[in-house]
């Protein structure tokens, strides 16, 4: 079976290793492991890379990370929001739009789903504790698990063969308005968990983290479904 080449977004952050303490283009190894184990080769894409790079890959993944700049959807940043990562926002929006224009298979993870919504004219809840009493983020690096319900007949429900699943959660922002995307998954408090572009070959954004080591078996159907379309 052929190994599809997947473009994976990275981001600039301060980093330390050996004698070095400088800004670096980063991505958690979890992402490399989950896609590599599923049979893909990866092309890491740093901010500022031309969307022309998409001609060299079979699919695109935008990873989780810092909050999307609220100015991109016409709001003032909440006091709890992360400092804007302007180069990352601009790069990932350009990459996503390029993938959409090419009908290149796309998977958005956490922030990646939010980028997808913003690119389609949507907006975000900037601080979920002001919107819901349900816990979506407990502490640094502590993931919460909760139920999610999936729209019958949606791509995501067909992938899992179920309408009720369990997902993990580590976010304080979420999709408020999906623009012209279709919402196909919700947490018990109606927080958006999945968005799709049904007319695309594969364009799905999930609010949870399938790359987490504890999710490798549970979420393998999602990774496999994405890579199957990439291979085609």
Q: Is 13 a catalytic residue?
A: no
Residue 191 sits at the vertex; the CA angle it makes with 117 and 70, to the nearest 5 degrees, is 45
How far is residue 100's CA from residue 116's CA, in Å, rounded to a whole number? 10
Residue of 110, 125, 171, 193 marked active site: 110
Query: How many secondary structure helices (H) and strands (E) does the chain include?
Result: 5, 13
CB-CB contact of 229 with 222 (8 Å)? no
Residue of 125, 136, 171, 209 marked active site: 209
Q: Is 211 a catalytic residue?
A: yes
Element (H, E) at 64: none
How far is residue 159's CA from residue 199's CA, in Å, rounded to a whole number? 16
How far is residue 122's CA from residue 176's CA, in Å, rounded to a whole number? 7
Q: Is 209 a catalytic residue?
A: yes
Please give the backbone phi and psi of residue 171, each rounded to the nearest 5 degrees, phi first. Answer: -160, 145
Residue of 92, 193, 196, 211 marked active site: 211
Q: Which residue has the tokens 């709001």?
A: 75
Cα end-to-end span (Å), the chain: 11
Residues belonging to the active site: 110, 209, 211
């Amino acid at each position: 079976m052929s190994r599809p080449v997947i473009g994976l977004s990275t981001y600039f952050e301060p980093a330390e290793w050996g004698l070095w303490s400088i800004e670096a283009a980063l991505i958690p190894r979890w992402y490399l492991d989950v896609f590599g184990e599923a049979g893909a080769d990866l092309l890491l894409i740093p901010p500022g890379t031309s969307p022309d790079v998409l001609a060299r890959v079979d699919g695109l993944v935008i990873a989780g990370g810092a909050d999307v700049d609220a100015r991109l959807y016409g709001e003032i940043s909440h006091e709890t929001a992360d400092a804007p990562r302007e180069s990352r926002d601009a790069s990932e929006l350009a990459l996503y739009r390029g993938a959409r224009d090419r009908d290149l298979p796309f998977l958005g993870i956490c922030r990646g789903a939010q980028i997808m919504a913003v690119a389609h004219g949507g907006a975000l809840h900037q601080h979920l504790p002001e919107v819901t009493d349900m816990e979506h983020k407990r502490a640094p690096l502590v993931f919460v698990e909760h139920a999610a319900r999936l729209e019958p007949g949606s791509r995501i429900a067909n992938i899992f063969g179920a309408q009720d699943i369990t997902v993990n959660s580590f976010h304080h922002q979420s999709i408020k308005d999906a623009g012209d995307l279709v919402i196909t998954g919700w947490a018990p408090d109606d927080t958006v968990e999945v968005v799709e572009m049904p007319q695309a070959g594969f364009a799905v954004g999930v609010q949870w983290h399938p790359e987490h080591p504890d999710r490798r078996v549970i979420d393998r159907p999602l990774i496999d479904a994405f890579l199957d379309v990439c291979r085609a």
